[in-house]
Structure 1
Amino acid sequence: MSTGSNKMGLMGLTTIVTVNMMGSGIILLPSSLAATGGIALLAWGITAIGALCIAYVFSKCGMYCTEDGGMSAYAKKAHGKSGFFIASYTYYVCLVISAVAISVTTVGYLETFFPWLKETPMHNFVGVVTILIVTLLCNIRGAKITGAISSVTVWGVIIPVLGVSIIGWFWFDTKIFAEGWNPHDIPTMSAISSGIALTLWAFLGIESAGANSGAVDNPKRNVPLACMLATVFSAITYIASTTVIQGIVPNELLSKSDAPFGLVFSQMFNPFIGNVITVLAIIACLGSLLGWQFTNAQVSKAAAEINLFPKVFSEVNKFEAPVKGMLIMLGLEITLAIMTISPTLLKQFNILVDLAVFINMVPYILSLTALGVILRESNVESKEYKVSIFLGTIAVVYSIYGAYATGTEAVYYGVVITLFGYLFYGFIASKEQLVEQEKI
């Protein structure tokens, strides 16, 4: 466990949670939503409510359960040791997928300055792998450095997103917005469903405050505060920024862009300003990737410390960073990047997002359904229990809907990946039983 001097405070943790959500989700999201049309923006209403309920539940779980492991520790309260393992395993897989998706997003923005990257899918792959390696090297110096870097990179999101959310309305054209509202004549409910997975992807990271609890000062106070502060801020900026962009950039142009924020600022001002925003977006994506990789290293380390992951994941360097586990993670990320190479970055991004969202709903549901047990153990007052359970039920139902909305292919592969987790746990449980017998 980290020493006090090497732990993050509230600001560092809130920054990591915000960057985890905003640094990747919002940066490419306008283009992905535009593929359906402006009507997909309706999904924000459902997702914002669902995300706030999820954040509330995680804040309660973080307040009353301060064991290392975040969602996995919550899941264990209701579902036992197998719940801890499956939550850790699926969350680990999700973050590996998410890291590749964020790297893909970064390459999309880098193409503005390095056209070579978009010449062939192999060039894209080289860019993706290079970014994954660079951010992993930055994480080797531990939690304090990660928090410090993230506190700088978050401005790469805040400046363009808040900028377009506030001043973009001066360029907003109702005609452009109306023309791009539903260009493919998709039924309203189908359009909303198509946007659910994408908008939910933008909020993944809500749980990372709890996942990093072992590296945080005063987790009982800071974990729940970081969850709520980051979620409220993100929800407001997401809805405002994606709506205004739909009214500035024609839908046909927006849906094909690999760098939507750079594009909108180019149209609002000039190409130079657009390039400045593109640089900021690249910085934001790198910060987000840094945060995700740090979070995943902490998840696997916590699991290894209770013998649910191989011991190699818990071995740390002098900065208390689990370097060997990080290298294993990098190998899996590169393998996934090879498996998902696509003709366009946007297509690769969407494939990765759907799969990541489905798999991440498994630990979400396992941990959210543990709220009742956690509250009972803490002997909370009846009113607090009832309100929390009501909001927790909404959070779980929304998570199930989010999993469904990812589509047939993501559900199919996601279920297969999850079932392999139970196979792995069978071997772990068998080994533990042998150890117990030898003690007798």
Structure 2
Amino acid sequence: MVVGTMIGGGAFNLISDMGAQAGGLAIIIGWLITGIGMIALGLSFQNLTNVRPDLDGGIYSYAQAGFGDYMGFNSAWGYWFSALLGNVAYGTLLMTAVGHFLPMFKGGSNVPSIIVASLLLWSVFLLISRGVKNATIINMIVTVAKMIPLFLFLVVMVIAFNFDTFMTGFYGMTEHGPKEFDIHDVMVQVKSTMLVTVWVFLGIEGAVIFSSRAKRRSDVGKATIIGLISVLIIYMMITILSQGIIIQNQISELSNPSMAEVMGHVVGKWGAAVINIGLIISVMGAWLGWSLLAAEVPYLAAKDDIFPAWFGKDNDNHAPVNSMLMTSLIVQLFFFTLLFTDKAYNFAFSLASSAALLPYAFSAFYQLKFSRQRSRKQMLIGSVASVYTIWLIYAAGLEYLLLTMILYFPGIFVYRHVQKLHGRSITKIDKILFGIITSLALIGIYFIIKGQISGF
């Protein structure tokens, strides 16, 4: 589940998503920061799973336990929308890959693409409705299948790697040639990679979300760490080796999926076809995995009286049918918006990454808070994870902060409704947070109307 949800479509476009604006040095630094931060976050999930086995909701229940109902609700709400938008990005990238074989789907954001993606969306809904266990078995099979083209790609990259090409773009490049070393410019490049690294690591908490369904609690933490380190090594090899194949200032010109373009550059059209087939398999698996996650979070939150009780209904197959239905309807709505942007994939994955930052941050903060008087080692891990998530919010930038607040804004009314139903009062801190989120959301809407936010 961890590997299957992390290695989705993002891995197949990682070369251009990271390398378009960053040279080899910035990419290496970016992965070092990401590796340290994500391992600390993974260890936090592992520790909290062990010391708080009663918190079966994982990613949102940590925020609730440490910082109250409203932050717990926001973590569930943000994570849910992150998963929704991840599925939108997967749908777009999937149809782009199909467009390699059938030109009518080229680009992934036209009417034929939306129709087929919608049919697949509701097919996944029907599959999950037949039971979560069946869906996870299929996810495991797909995970194994999609690793084959990835390993083939890495073998070809190792053989074809050119050290001179890699060093030419090591500090980044302009249209006219290589850049000289400039630490400020390198860090700007590093900053540009951060939302991409979050996107490709979304799913690190996959085992934690399903911890209530695990036979052995100890397996949850082990799966998280083993899956994380394995995927980190694969990602580093994909991005670093590719800069020794395609010179850095030409990477931004690669079309989606960029891995197919690079493979085709080395071995010809058959290589691009193999990668596109791998992408189609991979996205279908990741789409299934993320649909499971997207349905599970509101379902668990409803069981904990944070979301409306309607989300907590399951069917005879023990599948969260209402939660899955609402999830699919919202994804369908987002699919229709793809007609209005030519940067659908990049916009969807960036916003999905941004929406996940708050749930990640408050999980890290709770690790720090819970460990403060219990374990210096765990407190250090929590400190590193907290600093990393704060850095991610800064690196994402104001634009995505405002867009994320627009997503969080409707949650205010849902939260007030749920609190009222359960006879719980709205605290003063809640009201202050309502005001902050509302203000930032209104500023974001204003900037969209003025055309000052990219993606629209």
The two structures share one fold, judged by TM-score above 0.5:
yes
Question: Equivalent residue for 1:25?
Answer: 10
Q: Is the 8 A contact 1:18 1:231 kept in 2?
A: yes
Q: Deviations over 1:294-320 (max 9, x none)?
A: 011111111111232222222222211
Which aligned segments of 4 or more residues in structure 1 are displaced greater than 6 angstroms? none
Question: Equivalent residue for 1:230?
Answer: 227
| Aligned residue runs from structure 1 range 110-149, under 5 A | 110-118=98-106, 121-149=110-138
Q: Aligned to 2:38, which of 48, 51, 62?
A: 51
Q: Aligned to 2:76, which of 63, 75, 88?
A: 88
CA distance in 1, matches of 2:46, 2:380: 15
Q: Is the 8 A contact 1:162 1:241 kept in 2?
A: no
Q: Deviations over 1:12-63 (max 9, x none)?
A: xxxx111111113312111212321434513112111111111110111111
Question: Equivalent residue for 1:216?
Answer: 214
CA distance in 2, matches of 1:156, 1:108: 20
CA distance in 2, matches of 1:68, 1:28: 33
**Root-mean-square deviation (CA), in Å?**
2.3
Q: Deviations over 1:60-111 (max 9, x none)?
A: 1111222321112222221122232121111111111111112222122111
Q: Is the 8 A contact 1:33 1:255 kept in 2?
A: no
Relative to the length of structure 2, the TM-score reads 0.84
Question: Equivalent residue for 2:446?
Answer: none
**CA deviation after TM superposition for structure 1 residue 114, in Å:** 1.4
Question: Equivalent residue for 1:432?
Answer: 422
CA distance in 2, matches of 1:136, 1:176: 46
- Higher deviation after alignment, 93-102 or 164-173: 164-173
**CA, structure 1 residues 114+254, in 2 after alignment: closer, same or farther (shift >3 Å)?**
farther
The aligned amino acid for 1:201 is W
Aligned residues: 411
| Aligned residue runs from structure 1 range 243-262, under 5 A | 243-251=240-248, 252=250, 255-262=253-260
Q: Is the 8 A contact 2:44 2:367 kept in 1?
A: yes
**CA deviation after TM superposition for structure 1 residue 126, in Å:** 2.9
Question: Equivalent residue for 1:403?
Answer: 393
| Aligned residue runs from structure 1 range 407-422, under 5 A | 407-422=397-412
* Counterpart secondary structure, 1:397: helix
Q: Is the 8 A contact 1:44 1:196 kept in 2?
A: no
- Higher deviation after alignment, 236-245 or 78-87: 78-87
- Higher deviation after alignment, 411-420 or 328-337: 411-420
Relative to the length of structure 1, the TM-score reads 0.87
Q: Is the 8 A contact 2:15 2:251 kept in 1?
A: no
CA distance in 1, matches of 2:424, 2:317: 35
- Higher deviation after alignment, 90-99 or 36-45: 36-45
Question: Equivalent residue for 1:102?
Answer: 90
CA distance in 2, matches of 1:30, 1:286: 20
The aligned amino acid for 1:300 is P
Question: Equivalent residue for 1:367?
Answer: 363
CA distance in 1, matches of 2:199, 2:37: 12
Q: Is the 8 A contact 1:65 1:374 kept in 2?
A: no
**CA, structure 1 residues 156+191, in 2 after alignment: closer, same or farther (shift >3 Å)?**
farther
**CA deviation after TM superposition for structure 1 residue 188, in Å:** 1.0
| Aligned residue runs from structure 1 range 316-331, under 5 A | 316-331=314-329
Q: Structure 1 unaligned runs (5+)?
A: 1-15, 436-440
Question: Equivalent residue for 2:331?
Answer: 333
CA distance in 2, matches of 1:36, 1:127: 32
* Counterpart secondary structure, 1:369: helix
- Higher deviation after alignment, 269-278 or 107-116: 269-278
* Counterpart secondary structure, 1:27: helix
CA distance in 2, matches of 1:65, 1:250: 49
**CA deviation after TM superposition for structure 1 residue 171, in Å:** 0.4
Q: Is the 8 A contact 2:9 2:283 kept in 1?
A: yes
**CA deviation after TM superposition for structure 1 residue 161, in Å:** 2.6
| Aligned residue runs from structure 1 range 42-81, under 5 A | 42-66=29-53, 67-81=55-69
Q: Structure 2 unaligned runs (5+)?
A: 426-456
**CA, structure 1 residues 131+30, in 2 after alignment: closer, same or farther (shift >3 Å)?**
farther
Q: Aligned to 1:162, which of 125, 131, 151?
A: 151
CA distance in 1, matches of 2:360, 2:121: 26
Q: Is the 8 A contact 1:371 1:392 kept in 2?
A: yes
Question: Equivalent residue for 1:288?
Answer: 286
Question: Equivalent residue for 1:271?
Answer: 269
Question: Equivalent residue for 2:353?
Answer: 357
CA distance in 2, matches of 1:338, 1:405: 29
Question: Equivalent residue for 2:439?
Answer: none
